[in-house]
């Protein structure tokens, strides 16, 4: 079928390696977003506004402000400015894995811990 199987394999690998998730992270450094998660069997939605170095979260009638420190275009650390307990003092590492025109999929976890979760944030403005 193929006269040179090595060339055929190289061609297949080249075509497969061309696909990669879109990651235009810089478009999501600022704006208004919503994120829906399942907590204790219920769907809950958080909205937040980020302006590069500050993030304001609106959840369950409460407002929290966090600092945002960008590591690179697709990774940042979030830390509550006025934590109310020990668990809120912990920083969260966020990593944008892929983007679309109006959303991004991300992985997040407490800094220094191996357990990670995933979510999708939708840009609302």
Beta carbons of 21 and 98 less than 8 angstroms apart: yes
Rounded Cα gap, residues 68 and 97, in angstroms: 18
Work out the angle at residue 61's Cα, subtended by the Cα atoms of residues 31 and 120, and round it to the nearest 5 degrees.
Answer: 40
CATH number for region 22-123 = 2.40.128
pLDDT of residue 39: 81
pLDDT of residue 23: 83
Strand pairing category for 42-51 and 75-80: unpaired
Domains of the chain by residue range: 22-123
- Write out the chain's pLDDT in tens, 125 residues: 556 666 555 655 555 555 566 788 999 999 999 998 888 889 999 999 999 899 999 998 999 999 999 999 999 999 999 998 998 899 999 999 999 999 999 999 999 999 999 999 999 98
């Amino acid at each position: 079928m193929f006269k040179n199987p090595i060339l055929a394999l190289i061609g297949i690998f080249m075509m497969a390696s061309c696909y990669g998730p879109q990651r235009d992270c810089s478009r999501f450094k600022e704006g208004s977003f919503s994120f829906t998660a399942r907590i204790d069997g219920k769907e809950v939605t958080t909205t937040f506004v980020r302006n590069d170095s500050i993030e304001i979260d609106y959840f369950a009638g409460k407002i929290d402000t966090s600092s945002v420190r960008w590591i690179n275009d697709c990774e940042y650390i979030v830390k509550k400015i006025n934590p109310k307990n020990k668990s809120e003092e912990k920083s969260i590492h966020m990593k944008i894995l892929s983007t679309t025109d109006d959303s991004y999929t991300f992985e997040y976890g407490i800094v220094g811990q191996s357990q990670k979760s995933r979510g999708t944030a939708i840009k609302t403005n």
